[in-house]
Amino acid sequence: MAVDSNRKSKTLKTLLLSRREVEQQLSMAEILEVVENAFKLKAQGKAIMPCKIYLELPEYHGDFRAMPAYIDGSAGMKWVSVYPNNRQYNLPAVMAMIILCDPNNSYPLAIMDGTHITNMRTGAAGGIAVKYLAKKNSSVIGMVGAGEQAEAQLLAINEVLPEIEEVKVFDRSPEMSQRFAQKMAGKLNLNIHLVETVEAASDADVVVTTTYATGPVVLRQHIKPGTHINAIGADAEGKQELEADLLAGAKIVIDDFEQACHSGEINVPLSKGQIKVEDIYCSLGEVAAGMKRGRENDTEITIFDSTGLAIQDIVCAELAYKKTKGGKVPAFDFFEHD
């Protein structure tokens, strides 16, 4: 018997989730769990994820990125923008939306804010990297950059390190540093204080860089043996936060090989021949899945090069959808017509 496709579509509803609704559903602990599993599945070849596509708009000082993926029975795409000057409009520098679809029939299950998910899943990736690559007794954290992503990184790191004794923060804007310190000290009850130089912030067990730099900010001479670095800021071609000599002498772990080569922390040193592809150790998923060893001693310098993966967005969106489904949130027939 033929199915009335029009009648069938009317039984389906698309959820519309605001940022507040997404925030209410997702905790950092939950995001750490699903993102780590996503990294493992990718390493095992159980995900489909083309590289992100960039739409660059230099005259507007920003860009858009399309990020599709399929993983663990979920399919969707994130549309995200990066506009570093958005503070003048009282808008986030990064804004995003996610469309989550049913892979059986392509119906849009949910359209949701992706800005919070982008921030939190990136923080979670940093937390997972610290879990596997930092020294187990790491207690001093150095933050280079004090924006929203720095906050998410510290939230995640606080979940995986049992005893953080000190957090040092540096930002070119003292106001940003002060706001970060006050907000995060109150939220996490940590000893957070401002430092005046990148070098002071880099004297730590774990260093996190979340800047928009297009040239080295953290130098080899700043970093002591045994340090782990989360290099988060370089997420587009030409961006760079770490000196090439620092990369050359470290164990480099990436989130995705193709993306990292074109838009991650390694993209500039690779293009200039300062490091080689052979210098890249492995992916974070391979470490998490037990396919590769993480930190092997207390003296090696480890670096996690994060570019941000669509699979991270999709698993978080799926979690938010499942937790919200059946609740009191707006829903509509996406294909309703007269």
- At residue 82, φ and ψ (nearest 5 deg) are -130, 110
**Amino acid (one-letter) located at 66:** A
Query: Alpha-carbon distance 17 to 84, whole Å?
Result: 25
CA atoms within 13 A on the CB side of 224: 12
Helices (H), the chain: 5-9, 19-25, 28-43, 115-133, 148-160, 174-188, 198-202, 244-248, 257-263, 267-271, 284-288, 310-324
Number of H helices, E strands in the chain: 12, 18
Cβ within 8 Å of residue 45, ≥6 positions away = none
Provide the token pair at 294. Answer: 């993480």
Query: Alpha-carbon distance 265 to 83, whole Å?
Result: 19
CA–centroid distance for 220 within its chain = 24
Provide the token pair at 48. Answer: 């489909």
Query: Alpha-carbon distance 95 to 115, whole Å?
Result: 5
**Amino acid (one-letter) located at 109:** L
- Catalytic residues, by residue number, are 78
DSSP calls for 6-59:
HHHHTT--EEEE-HHHHHHH--HHHHHHHHHHHHHHHHTT-EE-PPPEEEEEGG
